[in-house]
Structure 1
Amino acid sequence: MSLVLWLTTIAALVTAAAACGGATNGTLLAIDAKTGQELWRVRPPGGAVSRATTADGLVFVVTSNNCNSLQGTLVAYDAAMGRERWRAPSVRGCFSSVSARRGLAVALGEKNVQGLDDRDGSSRWSAELTGGRDVTLIDGDNLVVVVEVAAYDAQFRALDRLTGQERWAKSMTLPGRFGPALASNTSALFLTQPFGGSLGAWPLTALDLETGEQRWAANVGGAGTSLVGLDTNDDTAFVRFGSYTEEQAVRKEGSSTVAAFDARTGEERWRHQEPGDPFAADLAVADNGIYVYGLGEKASDTLTALDVQSGAVRWQISQLGGRGQQTVAAGAGVAVLTVSEESRGRVLAFTAADGSHLWEREVPPSPGVVHATTVSDGVVYVGAWGKVPSFGD
């Protein structure tokens, strides 16, 4: 099971960035993963809606009117009916993370990390932030790791999930800009973008989740790599990156690679490479499969499932009619493709085992529509919102 709490794929960040200047018409939909039937929809208090996190029969989202703002609202909904159970203001905006398990929802505030009782939102503990400009929350089972970054200096702190007490701390000078970060069963992993946002290999670093000691570091990608996606399954880390020359970049041509690393040792287990969209970095891991959009000769219109153990292609389907930004989610035996277009959005679902088409439905239209999708407990949760037009739009 993936333990992703941060928006771990660059593709999702590129999509969501369209709404940073302001957001409107936020909607959270719950859709039956097998049938496509809408179970419920709600209008959260903010214009933009984060990816949903689920635990203990509840659905948690962070909402705000401006995703760059340090002010947002954490809202808990009943997973069965969509009724609001409680809300907690003074959390960071919709790009921030929420970790929910073991009866607690852990969220980032403007100046602290908050541990909230998931039954009613009451405070169980609070830990002050040290003042880093950018803050990320990495979700482990017994620990949450708070990462505060100022320029290329990073402070890692592991907090006990139930008490908020500090278990370990580590300072590092990063080899680039801090990027996607998550946890496997035993490691906290993070990618760093090369200095200055230049093309090239991205260092992938693993810290021991219990002690904070660095386990290993490995470079992924190479010349022509501008985006890298990251996900986990148990103690395997999966990365996706593209490669291209200057001539290929103009035509959006090149290759796309998915590679698997042992999260404990850094050993590369397998690598799958084929022609594809070099700018696509999204991937989702579930049901012993890895689901990616943008592989193959018809990369702009292809969804592929790879085997977790070997990287072999399990199935590949094309002619999906995708235009705009695509993101992938998976779970409950279903692979879900969300397409954000100019004024509408579509959700397409396929059987994880063989790629057979299950259903397709539109989500609420809005100018500059943006989506954040999660699959959990047999339900597809889609956060949809539109951007507020800026001067010149």
Structure 2
Amino acid sequence: MARGREGDESESGTGSVLGLAGIGEGGKGGRSAISRRALLLGVPAVSVTAAVVLGVVAEQSENARHRRALNPPVNPGPATARAAGTLAGPSAKPAWSVVLERSAHAVAVASGTVVLVDNYGAVRGFDPKTGAAKWQPSVEFFVNDDSPLTVVGSTVYGSDDDGHFMAVDASNGTLSWQTQFASSGAQIATVAGTAGPNVFSTGEIDDQSGGNGHGVLWCVDTTTRGTVWNINNVDYSLAVVASEPAGVVVTADEITYKLTAYSLKDQSVQWRKEAGNAEAVGIPASPAACVAVSGKTFYWAADKLYALDAASGDVRWTGSAPNPGSEFQSVIVVPGQGSGSADLIVATATSPSGGTLHAFAADTGALQWVEHGGPKFGSKTALTAGAGVVFAAERDNGSVFAVDAKTGQTRWTYHDPTISADLTWSVAADDARVYVAYGEHLLAFEP
């Protein structure tokens, strides 16, 4: 099984053709990663480098709108003295830390366990109080760049590179069950989004005639442990979010900045929504995190932050960032932290003049607070929340910021000056701690 070295982005040289810009990590089949642009153009299975080059040559107009955000200045690191409206505060020390055998890819909390998937796909479990290993890995997921870990109750869902949708018991790390989407040719990009007992997945089925494959959205019933339905020829997406009250599931195509909502009942298209300024914005740095849901409202990070009626797609409100040329990147819902215990919508934005962290009232879109980060804040910045605190892990600067959800005040910061920007940073939180995984490090902090 050919895989790259831990912590090195070159390890994505083998993997799913659905990896964004050719990013995906190797699996048993040794598939070569092909960029999304190559897929759109019908480029055959060539090397990652060749696919990207061909995509750039053939899509000059699209590439032009993406180029601006790719090389902002290097972040010099957070300050220790806080100025008004800036992400800076006292330094924090971890409650515990663990040196990992391999670099981390993603972290989640489930069933009293910190679940970590390393960049080889091994699913590991740690005690949230001490960091001690709870069990040794017996299951291996396929690892696709930026794909999240989906947790429902005590189960962690993922996939392998043979087209299996997999359910892992978070209490002991064993495989509870799995189902295969196709006997061959199924490549799963992500497992994300839930509605009742249903969990969703996107990916691709190879064209048996030898042409490029087609995108698929699968719906899996976790009670019957089988596929309920699938929709073919969907847009490429790492973001899948469902609103059970509204009866729809939405996918986000981050290349064209378009949302498509499908009926949970009959899978018909209910509505589509495009960003109002799609030609001016670049590819999201965190495409899997560009949509969130609360009740019957979707929150979409694009040229603006859109609050959309989940049933109709109508715009309820939009939020803007203060800096010219800003692009919203990732968004989360923080329950009960808004005015009168309403929900709070927290989102990151990037711009040529610096990144920002925003909080909006979920029902009205009224700006609650905004904090300014460094030049690259918001680009590859992972968000989570717990115990009334928003946590932002900034990959390019190697930092974590803990921000009071109600006030926007920075409680503490953590910075690792020794870490390369090439590493993936992932965060997860419960009511007692936040867990930060990057490189060969797993850390826990108190809120």
**Cα 1:352–1:291, aligned 2, differ >3 Å: closer, same or farther?**
same
**Cα 1:122–1:36, aligned 2, differ >3 Å: closer, same or farther?**
same
| 1:360 alignment partner, one of 404, 413, 426 | 413
Q: TM-score, normalised by structure 1?
A: 0.73
| 2:366 alignment partner, one of 292, 312, 333 | 312
Shift of 1:300: 0.7
**Cα distance in 2, alignment partners of residues 57 and 349 from structure 1:** 22
Deviations along 1:198-244, one digit per CA (max 9) or x if unpaired, are xxx522012234553433222223331333522222331111223xx
Letter in 1 for 2:141: V
Does the Cα contact within 8 Å between 1:295 and 1:303 map onto a contact in 2? no
Shift of 1:371: 1.4
Does the Cα contact within 8 Å between 1:326 and 1:337 map onto a contact in 2? no
2:330 maps to what in 1? 282
**Cα distance in 2, alignment partners of residues 136 and 94 from structure 1:** 7
**Cα distance in 1, alignment partners of residues 231 and 370 from structure 2:** 43
**Cα 1:191–1:293, aligned 2, differ >3 Å: closer, same or farther?**
closer
Shift of 1:19: 4.2
Deviations along 1:93-151, one digit per CA (max 9) or x if unpaired, are 26344332233222211211222233223333221132233422123141112222255
Does the Cα contact within 8 Å between 1:202 and 1:221 map onto a contact in 2? no
Is 2:92 aligned against 1:40? no
Shift of 1:63: 0.8
**Cα distance in 1, alignment partners of residues 356 and 166 from structure 2:** 41
Alignment of 1:82-121 (within 5 A): 82-86=131-135, 87-93=137-143, 95=145, 96-111=147-162, 112-121=164-173
Aligned to 2:354, the other structure's residue is in SS state helix
Is 2:317 aligned against 1:270? yes
| 2:216 alignment partner, one of 150, 155, 160 | 155
**Cα distance in 1, alignment partners of residues 96 and 224 from structure 2:** 34
**Cα 1:38–1:156, aligned 2, differ >3 Å: closer, same or farther?**
same
**Cα distance in 2, alignment partners of residues 321 and 138 from structure 1:** 30
1:230 maps to what in 2? 291
Aligned to 1:91, the other structure's residue is in SS state coil
Alignment of 1:181-220 (within 5 A): 181-185=240-244, 186-194=247-255, 202-209=257-264, 211-220=266-275
Does the Cα contact within 8 Å between 1:144 and 1:159 map onto a contact in 2? yes
Letter in 1 for 2:100: P
Does the Cα contact within 8 Å between 2:139 and 2:175 map onto a contact in 1? no
* RMSD across aligned positions (CA): 3.0
Aligned to 1:309, the other structure's residue is in SS state coil
Moved more, 106-115 or 287-296: 287-296
Aligned to 2:307, the other structure's residue is in SS state strand
Letter in 2 for 1:372: S
Shift of 1:380: 1.8
Shift of 1:280: 4.6
Give the fraction of aligned pairs with identical amino acids, expressed as a percent: 19
Moved more, 344-353 or 98-107: 98-107
**Cα 1:323–1:205, aligned 2, differ >3 Å: closer, same or farther?**
closer
Does the Cα contact within 8 Å between 1:260 and 1:270 map onto a contact in 2? yes
Q: TM-score, normalised by structure 2?
A: 0.65
**Cα 1:153–1:80, aligned 2, differ >3 Å: closer, same or farther?**
same
| 2:11 alignment partner, one of 22, 42, 47 | 22
- In terms of fraction of residues, the more helix-rich structure is 2
Aligned to 1:145, the other structure's residue is in SS state strand
**Cα distance in 2, alignment partners of residues 154 and 128 from structure 1:** 16
> Which sections of structure 1, spanning at least 5 residues, go unmatched?
1-17, 24-33, 66-71, 195-200, 243-256, 387-393
Greater RCO, CA 8 A, separation 6+ = 1
1:251 maps to what in 2? none
Does the Cα contact within 8 Å between 2:298 and 2:309 map onto a contact in 1? yes
**Cα distance in 2, alignment partners of residues 207 and 98 from structure 1:** 23
Shift of 1:270: 0.6
1:122 maps to what in 2? 174
Aligned to 1:349, the other structure's residue is in SS state strand
**Cα distance in 1, alignment partners of residues 127 and 114 from structure 2:** 6
Shift of 1:166: 2.2
**Cα distance in 2, alignment partners of residues 97 and 225 from structure 1:** 23
Q: Displaced runs of 4+ in structure 1, greater than 4 A?
A: 34-37, 320-326
**Cα 1:98–1:336, aligned 2, differ >3 Å: closer, same or farther?**
closer
- In terms of fraction of residues, the more strand-rich structure is 1
2:308 maps to what in 1? 261
Alignment length (residue pairs): 326
**Cα 1:361–1:238, aligned 2, differ >3 Å: closer, same or farther?**
same
**Cα 1:299–1:353, aligned 2, differ >3 Å: closer, same or farther?**
farther
**Cα distance in 2, alignment partners of residues 358 and 143 from structure 1:** 37
Does the Cα contact within 8 Å between 1:364 and 1:384 map onto a contact in 2? no
**Cα distance in 2, alignment partners of residues 313 and 279 from structure 1:** 16
> Which sections of structure 2, spanning at least 5 residues, go unmatched?
1-6, 13-89, 206-211, 285-289, 336-342, 441-447
